[in-house]
């Protein structure tokens, strides 16, 4: 997993819970990197799992809720680190439609070692999209947060529901309907 995801994660923890919690979860996690990340570095996904588990223990919140909150936070982080990746889109549905074939393709050029999920589009209309998230990392709540923020980015909202196609969350279908 790319360092930019770790640096954004620790930044969110500091903002929401304070620097002490950052120090505590780094201490309590199993981190070969010792919790020192650079945005272009690549680190084991296990380190992220360990950090999220420690945070969940520390602040007594479910992991899924914390991953979702991180998705909300990460959209702005990635968007401001790479504005050129999203500036061509004029509405949220077309942005979501383009993740697989354009946005993450571009990301792969910026970060060749990135391990990205795949999104399969099942249906798309002017104000709705149905897509299947697929990734061995099972970060579907991260996708949930990112999708939610995509609408906010265009000053809109959406009704987002999801269904686990595999129990471990490695394949999840999202039904997304733009409000208003
Ligand atoms: C601003 C545009 C975006 C950029 C620059 C971007 C970039 C990235 C990067 C760098 C990673 C980390 C890969 C790694 O650590 O190896 C990632 C992962 C991910 N991206 Fe994007 N992304 C963008 C938009 C989105 C959107 C809108 C979604 C909405 C569904 C999304 C879904 C995900 C998910 C769920 C992951 C986690 C990896 C996984 O689940 O396997 N991304 N993205």
Q: 103-148 pLDDT, tens per residue?
A: 999 999 999 999 999 999 999 999 999 999 999 999 999 999 999 9
**Domain spans of the chain?**
3-61, 88-178
Segment 149-164 shows an average pLDDT of 98
The residue whose CA has the least distance to atom 27 of ligand 1 is 146
Identify the pLDDT of residue 79. Answer: 94
Q: Report whether residue 114 contacts ligand 1, using a CB cutoff of 6 Å.
A: yes
Segment 27-33 shows an average pLDDT of 97
pLDDT band at 180 (very low <50, low <70, confident <90, very high): confident
CA of 68 to the centre of ligand 1 (A): 13
Q: Which CATH number fits domain 88-178: 1.10.540.10, 3.40.50.300, 3.90.1520.10, 3.60.15.10?
A: 3.90.1520.10
Distance CA 162, CA 90 (A): 25
How many other CB atoms are found less than 10 A from the CB of residue 123? Answer: 9
CB 4 within 8 A of CB 78: yes
CA of 104 to the centre of ligand 1 (A): 7
CA of 127 to the centre of ligand 1 (A): 22
Q: Report whether residue 115 contacts ligand 1, using a CB cutoff of 6 Å.
A: yes
């Amino acid at each position: 997993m790319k360092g930019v995801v770790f640096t954004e994660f620790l930044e969110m923890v500091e903002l929401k819970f304070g620097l002490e919690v950052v120090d505590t979860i780094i201490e309590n996690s199993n981190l070969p990197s010792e919790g020192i990340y650079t945005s272009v570095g690549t680190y084991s996904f296990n380190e992220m799992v360990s950090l999220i588990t420690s945070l969940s223990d520390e602040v007594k919140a479910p992991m899924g809720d914390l991953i979702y909150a991180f998705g909300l936070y990460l959209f702005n982080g990635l968007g401001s680190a790479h504005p050129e990746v999203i500036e061509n889109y004029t509405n949220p549905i077309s942005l979501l439609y383009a993740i697989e074939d354009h946005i993450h393709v571009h990301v792969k050029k910026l970060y060749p070692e990135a391990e990205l999920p795949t999104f399969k589009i099942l249906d798309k209309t002017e104000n709705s999209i149905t897509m299947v998230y697929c990734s061995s990392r099972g970060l579907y709540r991260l996708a949930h947060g990112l999708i939610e923020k995509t609408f906010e980015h265009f000053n809109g909202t959406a009704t987002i529901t999801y269904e686990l196609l595999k129990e471990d969350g490695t394949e999840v279908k999202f039904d997304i309907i733009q409000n208003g």
